[in-house]
């Protein structure tokens, strides 16, 4: 209704972040990296600037130039009422069923037959430790916000991330054990393990 053709996803990502306050493209990149970047990916810099101009053209954001002496001048963007409406519209009508995962790691596992067993196990160990690191990162994110308006949403998104990472660690432990004891043909019998079996 608001617009005939809807914008690319990243436009709404930018719009959404802009709803947190007036920002420059530079600020936006930082914020994206440590927020939506973890569950949606962060647009590259160049695209942020392009998108920002598009949002201005559409009247979804307002530009304001700030001249600085000690630092490069910058352009600050603020979401408009029209922009907020477009964001809301997208949020309510966009489908969430097209969630996409592109896990190179699981691809390797799936095609694991063709890999050296030691390397495969090392890969799983790497996955395990990066999951641990990720948990620490998300827990820090959580501690940087508490009590302020809107923090529930950060709490929820980080919560799911942490839960998944915990699941990764448990899974990795069992996967390593299974890979170590596996036959040469990597056949698997139901009695071998309980990963993912009903608790």
Question: 78 pairs with which residues across the strands?
Answer: 62
37 binds DNA (CB under 7 A): no
Q: How far is the CB of 7 from DNA (least distance, A)?
A: 8
- Interface pick for a copy of itself out of 6, 26, 41, 74 (rule CB under 8 A): 41
Joined tokens for residue 118: 């030691």
- Interface pick for a copy of itself out of 3, 30, 136, 153 (rule CB under 8 A): 153
Element holding 74 (H helix, E strand): strand 74-79
- Interface pick for DNA out of 45, 64, 88, 164 (rule CB under 7 A): 45
CA distance 41 to 34: 10
| Beta carbons of 109 and 120 less than 8 angstroms apart | yes
6 binds a copy of itself (CB under 8 A): no
Of the pair 5, 187, the CB lying nearest DNA is at: 5
Select from a copy of itself, DNA, none the partner in contact with residue 49, using the beta carbon and a kind-dependent cut-off of 5 to 8 Å: DNA
80 binds a copy of itself (CB under 8 A): no
Cα–Cα distance list, 79 to 22, 40, 127, 143 (Å): 7, 21, 39, 28
Select from DNA, a copy of itself, none the partner in contact with residue 131, using the beta carbon and a kind-dependent cut-off of 5 to 8 Å: none
Read off the DSSP letter of residue 66: E
CA distance 31 to 20: 10
Number of residues that bind DNA (CB under 7 A): 25
Q: How far is the CB of 20 from a copy of itself (least distance, A)?
A: 9
- Interface pick for a copy of itself out of 13, 55, 61, 121 (rule CB under 8 A): 13
CA distance 38 to 133: 13
72 binds DNA (CB under 7 A): yes
User: Dihedral of the CA atoms 136, 138, 141, 146 (nearest 10)?
Assistant: -110
Which residues form the interface with DNA (CB under 7 A)? Answer: 8-10, 24-27, 30, 41, 43-47, 49-50, 52-53, 68, 70-75
């Amino acid at each position: 209704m608001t617009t005939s053709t809807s914008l690319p996803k990243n436009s709404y990502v930018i719009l959404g972040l802009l709803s947190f306050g007036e920002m420059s493209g530079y600020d936006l990149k930082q914020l994206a990296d440590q927020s939506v970047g973890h569950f949606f990916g962060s647009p590259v810099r160049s695209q942020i600037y392009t998108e920002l101009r598009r949002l201005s053209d559409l009247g979804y954001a307002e530009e304001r130039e700030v001249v600085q002496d000690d630092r490069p001048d910058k352009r600050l963007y603020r979401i408009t009422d029209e922009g907020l409406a477009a964001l809301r519209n997208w949020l309510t009508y966009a489908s969430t069923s097209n969630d996409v995962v592109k896990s190179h790691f699981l691809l390797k596992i799936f095609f694991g037959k063709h890999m050296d067993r030691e390397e495969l196990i090392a890969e799983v160990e790497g996955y395990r430790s990066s999951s641990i690191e990720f948990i620490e990162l998300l827990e820090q994110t959580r501690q940087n916000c508490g009590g302020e308006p809107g923090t529930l949403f950060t709490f929820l998104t980080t919560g799911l991330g942490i839960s998944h990472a915990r699941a990764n660690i448990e899974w990795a432990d069992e996967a390593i054990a299974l890979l170590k004891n596996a036959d040469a043909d990597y056949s698997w019998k139901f009695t071998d393990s309980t990963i993912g079996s009903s608790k």
